[in-house]
């Protein structure tokens, strides 16, 4: 029978449920099992697409164009689970679907209620990814914290599934916190209360992942087990990783977590093959060199705003046996008249400009791109970063002082970046951008063609604005290299600087497909160029 693992959180938010669920998925795959990952977000938004990065971190995009929570990015980095819109569930989606069915008369005049109608909709969505006959286990992360009213319908749906499928086929993993009070003493009381809260929702956890800064000793684990009705072997120390979060599958395995979960589900499997993860951690611990990457962006106050970019840079480091130090540079601070570019970028070996929306800080990004182009510093532009390259080239080489994106200057005579034609009359901002994977044709003899070693690639997109075809002839005439186009030749997908060691911008988001065991080609090449720059 199909198996399910529900991962919930207690005490407080941001404990790392997503990384815990992902690590469990990695361990199950290492045992030869096929997994599917599902994230439940209890907010009323239909998806994360219209949310500020400061509210919810980055928006992770799947192949089919779903705009999802960043935890799906963790799933993609740790596991081989296919990710699409069915892997992301929100309260908004659930209630929208139920209300639409009610309006269509599909409930035959019955009163529509949270139970059974909302919970039935949740259950159907939770079970859908696991219906593939090849799937062995579906891992479902329930966002939020147990005790939040927003999570109650989802916990009730989980309770019903566990009751209907049986405790051997659907199990619960609860992530909690053991905080240290003054003097460094660890306290288990918050964990005891968090488990009690879950039990009041009708769910007895089968395993606990105890978050703490330092390892939880055996005595404390036994104490927690006795207070929570959880077997001692199921109380796992989820202390902070010392080197990288990719240590977690190894940390859990060393405590027998995967063996315990398989025993609870009655699954026999082969021994875990964790050689890939062991090698990843070894490369983190034993780098042969170190590079510093200046990331010039708009949302630097919250690390999660560029989560996939940070991870993809580290993956590029793994591929080059290099430690990657990221220098966060708020682009708006570069706009001041007295900003000294040479001083700001003196210690960086490469510059990356990631995606973003809105005018704030865009002029600072242009300054960063100009510095990289003129001083031969490796430069990587992603989405907005490519558009910044085009704006900078237009202002400095073509001498169009007013060159800009129509997003920033709608009345510019030289709107070298402009809205897609099918975006001009769009009134709704949710799910209406160019989203998901699409094909790009690469020009032979270019840097991007050399990096991929292919004539065409498929990468994911998330944007409304494109390089304007009206100005493309002028850009190319003056030397800017357009090195990738859509198959019909209508849209610019990549540009490169001539006579530059590594100056490349892409309209796609290659960071979304990067994994520690399979780094994105562009990040691998970029970090390689930065290593070469550092050595020179």
Mean pLDDT, residues 161-174 taken together: 96
Q: Is 476 a catalytic residue?
A: no
Q: How many CA atoms lie within 13 A of 513 on its CB side?
A: 16
Write out pLDDT tens, residues 318-371. Answer: 999 999 999 999 998 888 888 888 999 999 999 999 988 877 878 999 999 999
Q: Is 511 a catalytic residue?
A: yes
Spatial separation of the C-alpha atoms in residues 366 and 383, rounded to whole Å: 14
Spatial separation of the C-alpha atoms in residues 28 and 257, rounded to whole Å: 10
Cβ neighbours of residue 303 closer than 8 Å, sequence gap 6 or more: 310
Spatial separation of the C-alpha atoms in residues 56 and 76, rounded to whole Å: 18
3-state secondary structure 187-205: CCHHHHHHHHHHHHCCCCC
Token representation of residue 211: 């978050």
pTM assigned to the model: 0.93
Q: Please, which pLDDT band fits residue 1 given cuts at 50, 70 and 90?
A: confident
Largest CA distance in the chain: 75
Lowest mean pLDDT segment, chosen from 62-76, 94-108, 407-421, 503-517: 407-421
Q: Which residue has the tokens 């991929």?
A: 452
Judged against a pLDDT cut of 70, whether residue 427 lies above it is answered with no
Judged against a pLDDT cut of 70, whether residue 422 lies above it is answered with no
Q: Which of 258, 187, 253 is nearest to 224 (CA)?
A: 187
Q: Is 530 a catalytic residue?
A: no
Catalytic choice (315, 461, 463, 509): 509
Catalytic choice (311, 466, 493, 511): 511
Mean pLDDT, residues 427-437 taken together: 72
Mean pLDDT, residues 450-464 taken together: 95
Token representation of residue 383: 């989405």
Q: Which domains does the chain have, with CATH numbers?
A: 3-279 (3.40.50.300), 289-535 (3.40.50.880)
Averaged confidence pLDDT in the chain: 93
Mean pLDDT, residues 8-22 taken together: 91
Helices and strands (H and E) in the chain: how many: 18, 21
Q: Please, are residues 145 and 10 in contact by the beta-carbon 8 Å criterion?
A: yes
Percent of the chain clearing pLDDT 90 (strictly above): 81
Token representation of residue 392: 């900078």
Judged against a pLDDT cut of 90, whether residue 419 lies above it is answered with no
Write out pLDDT tens, residues 379-416. Answer: 999 999 999 999 999 999 999 999 999 988 988 999 99
Q: Return the pLDDT at 162.
A: 97
Q: What's the length of the chain?
A: 536
Catalytic choice (383, 449, 466, 493): 383
Lowest mean pLDDT segment, chosen from 145-149, 425-429, 445-449, 488-492: 425-429
Cβ neighbours of residue 411 closer than 8 Å, sequence gap 6 or more: none
Q: Please, are residues 391 and 381 in contact by the beta-carbon 8 Å criterion?
A: no
Backbone angles phi and psi of 514, in degrees to 5: -80, 140
Give ∠ CA 370-376-378 in degrees, rounded to 5: 90
Q: Return the pLDDT at 109.
A: 85
């Amino acid at each position: 029978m199909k198996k399910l693992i529900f991962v919930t959180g207690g005490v407080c938010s941001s404990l790392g449920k997503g990384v815990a669920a992902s690590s469990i998925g990695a361990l199950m795959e290492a045992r030869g099992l096929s997994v599917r990952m599902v994230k439940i977000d209890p907010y009323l938004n239909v998806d994360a697409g219209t949310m500020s990065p400061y509210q919810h971190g980055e928006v992770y995009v799947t192949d089919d164009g779903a705009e999802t929570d960043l935890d799906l990015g963790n799933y993609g980095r740790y596991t081989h689970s296919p990710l699409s819109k069915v892997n992301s569930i929100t309260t908004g989606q659930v209630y929208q679907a139920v209300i639409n069915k009610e309006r269509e008369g599909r409930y035959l005049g019955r009163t529509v209620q949270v139970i059974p109608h909302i919970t039935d909709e949740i259950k159907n969505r939770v079970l859908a990814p696991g219906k593939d006959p090849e799937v062995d286990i579906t891992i479902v992360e329930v966002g939020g914290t147990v005790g939040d009213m927003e999570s109650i319908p989802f916990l009730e749906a989980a309770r019903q599934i566990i009751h209907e499928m049986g405790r051997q086929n659907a199990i619960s993993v609860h992530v909690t916190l053991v905080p240290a009070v003054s003097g460094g003493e660890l306290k288990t009381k918050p964990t005891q209360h968090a488990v009690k809260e879950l039990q009041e929702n009708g769910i007895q956890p089968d395993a606990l992942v105890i978050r703490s800064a330092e390892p939880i000793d055996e005595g404390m684990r036994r104490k927690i087990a006795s207070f929570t009705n959880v077997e001692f072997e199921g109380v796992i120390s989820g202390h902070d990783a010392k080197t990288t979060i990719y240590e977690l599958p190894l940390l859990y395995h060393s405590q027998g977590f995967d063996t315990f979960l398989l025993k609870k589900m009655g699954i026999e499997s082969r021994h875990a093959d964790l050689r890939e993860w062991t090698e990843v951690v070894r490369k983190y611990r034993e780098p042969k060199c170190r590079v510093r990457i200046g990331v010039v962006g708009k949302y630097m106050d919250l690390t999660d705003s560029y989560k996939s970019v940070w991870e993809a840079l580290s993956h590029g480091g793994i591929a080059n046996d290099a430690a990657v130090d990221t220098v966060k540079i708020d682009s708006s601070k570069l706009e001041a008249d007295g900003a000294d570019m040479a001083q700001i970028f003196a210690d960086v070996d490469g510059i990356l400009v990631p995606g973003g929306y809105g005018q704030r800080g865009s002029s600072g990004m242009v300054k960063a791109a100009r510095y990289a182009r003129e001083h031969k510093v490796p430069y990587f532009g992603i989405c907005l970063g490519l558009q910044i390259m085009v704006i900078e080239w237009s202002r400095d080489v073509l001498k169009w002082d007013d060159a800009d994106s129509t997003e920033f200057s709608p009345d510019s005579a030289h709107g070298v970046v402009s809205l897609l034609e099918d975006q001009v009359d769009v009134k709704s901002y949710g799910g209406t951008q160019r989203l998901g994977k699409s094909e790009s044709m690469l020009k032979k003899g270019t840097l991007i063609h050399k990096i991929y070693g292919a004539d065409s690639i498929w990468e994911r997109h998330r944007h409304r604005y494109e390089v304007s075809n009206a100005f493309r002839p002028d850009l190319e005439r003056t030397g800017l290299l357009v090195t990738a186009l859509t198959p019909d030749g209508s849209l610019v997908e990549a540009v490169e600087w001539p006579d530059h060691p590594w100056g490349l911008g892409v309209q796609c988001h290659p960071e979304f497909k990067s994994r520690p065991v399979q780094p994105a080609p562009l990040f691998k090449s970029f970090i390689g160029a930065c290593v070469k720059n550092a050595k020179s």
